[in-house]
Chains A and B, each alone.
Chain A
Amino acid sequence: MSVMSRILKFYLNGNLVHVAAGEADTLLDVLRDGLGLTSPKCGCNHGDCGACTVILNGYSAKSCTILALTAEGKNVWTVDGLANGDKLHPVQRAFHEYGAPQCGYCTPGMVMAAVAFLNHYPSPTESEVKEALSGNLCRCGGYKKYVQAVMAAARGEFGPLPEGSVENV
């Protein structure tokens, strides 16, 4: 909405992208409106609901609270970059197999919060998983299955978590 805009360069799902960004645009604005990537959702635009969660330099972040231009040169991952060809990420498979998503609106954010968390804490307890997902609201109330699915992914039920640095998911 702001009058001036600049070219922002950052790594999106491993690829360098150039995109116009307004000086007061959020990272979510740029992902959705600038790059047409609609997996991060704009639920509250206030940092409360977690539907816009992405992985920024290896850590989960709510993209509606990030000023786009501060992402210059950084690594951003969305759910779109997780699958390896047609092979889903273990967390995605776990969510699918456990029937965790209901309406699905919170799911991309939930996946990213879970993936970032498992990258840092590969063998969590259930209460740690609950804390990791506590910033992601699910209005269908599907919390229990999300937690079960993350625990299953951590146990390796859906194959080993991808190797590689946290930076690269």
Chain B
Amino acid sequence: MREYEYHAPESFESLVNLASGDGAEVRFLAGGTDLIPRISAEKNQIPYEKKLPMRIIYLGTLGLDKVTEEGERVTIGACCTLSSLLENEIVKTKMPALRDALSEMAGVSIRNTATIGGNIMNASPAADSVPPLLVLDAVCALRSASGERRVSLAEYFTGPGKTVAKPDEVLVSITVKPGPGGSSFKKLGRRKAETLSVVNAAVYLELRDGFCQSARVAVGSAAPTVVRCVDVEQALVGKKIDEGVVREASLLVTKAISPIDDIRSSAWYRARVAPIMVARAVLTAAGRKRG
């Protein structure tokens, strides 16, 4: 059992003062769909464990819920709900992989509450928004008392539930450069809604006359973090994209992943379905080529 304190700062100045912690464990609250059930479970745990007080700092009053476009860059506020992004015209038209992922995340009511920043900060290897953002070369902006720093999403995760963000740093936005290519996302879950991925994959492809100019492939839920699959990418670049090439290239995904057995699936199964999800994502992305 521990004490909880709740704060809803309306400016970053007041947030910064709270974020130092003062001997409490600081947790930033966005949508809460992961954090709040965790707190509820902790409260009902027997035997009670003596823990540091928890300071819950709500980010919903800071105006981090906007999507802005500047030149080729699109900046997504960390507190945008999944539903608001799913209906956003920029996301719909320029980031089909992210749109696909959002439409398959949880169910409507959770998507109305959950935020994209929360999905990233939760740092689950199975986070569905991460592979699309990774192939779209997303950059995260972290803010704290010492200012703002930007970290590429590719270097953001250090393990399951772990990121490079320090305890007093808030993820404020994610910036993406959608690029001229096509993108897609495929998820294999145990059922259609309200499920975590067994394996998921996102692909970004640039084609010219059917030949692959550049490719980015990411796979989730098959390693301690979402991983880029460089071998698959290299096997695609320069080739004419057809089913045979894609099937062969997608098998190389096993070089990048290190799946485990858990409650959702076995390592054996994950290693076998990962190439299939990658192949499907590549073919869909190829069909969506722009220009």
Contacts and interface: CB of A to CB of B under 8 A. Distances in A.
B83 interface: yes
Contact of B194 (A48, A59, A132): A48
A56 B54 CA distance: 26
A67 B107 contact: no
A45 B37 contact: yes
A38 interface: no
Given A23-B56, A24-B54, A134 B37 contact: no
Contact of B43 (A1, A67, A113): A1
Contacts of A64: 36-37, 40
A50 B109 CA distance: 8
Nearest to A1: B43
B113 A2 contact: no
A118 B5 CA distance: 37
B171 interface: no
A66 B32 contact: yes
A53 interface: yes
A67 B108 contact: no
Interface in B18-36: 29, 31-33, 36
B37 A131 contact: no
B12 interface: no
Interface in A1-29: 1-4, 6, 22-24, 26
A99 B194 CA distance: 26
B109 A67 contact: no
A32 interface: no
B190 to A, nearest CB: 13
Contacts of A22: 4
Contact of A113 (B40, B106, B108, B192): B108
Contact of A70 (B33, B60, B107, B108): B60
Contact of B107 (A56, A72, A134): A134
Contacts, number: 103
Interface string B30-52: 01110011011101000000000
Contacts of B36: 26, 47, 64-67
How many chain A residues sit at the interface, stated as a range, is 20 to 34
Contacts of A6: 6
Given A4-B3, A23-B6, A70-B29, A134 B194 contact: yes
Nearest to A29: B40
Contacts of A23: 4-6, 56
Residue of B1, B4, B32, B109 with highest tally of chain A CB at under 10 A: B109
Nearest to A58: B112
A1 to B, nearest CB: 5
B110 interface: yes
Interface in B197-246: none
Interface of B: 1, 3-6, 8, 29, 31-33, 36-37, 39-41, 43, 54, 56, 58, 60, 83, 106-110, 112-113, 192-194
Interface of A: 1-4, 6, 22-24, 26, 45-48, 50, 53, 56, 59-62, 64-67, 69-70, 72, 113, 117, 131-132, 134-136
The 6 closest A-B pairs by CB, nearest first: A135-B107, A134-B193, A24-B4, A59-B112, A23-B6, A60-B109
13 contacts: A3-B4, A23-B4, A45-B37, A61-B109, A62-B33, A65-B33, A65-B36, A67-B56, A67-B58, A70-B8, A113-B109, A134-B192, A135-B194
Given A67-B58, A135-B193, 12 more contacts: A1-B1, A2-B4, A24-B4, A26-B36, A47-B110, A53-B109, A56-B112, A62-B110, A72-B8, A113-B109, A131-B107, A135-B108
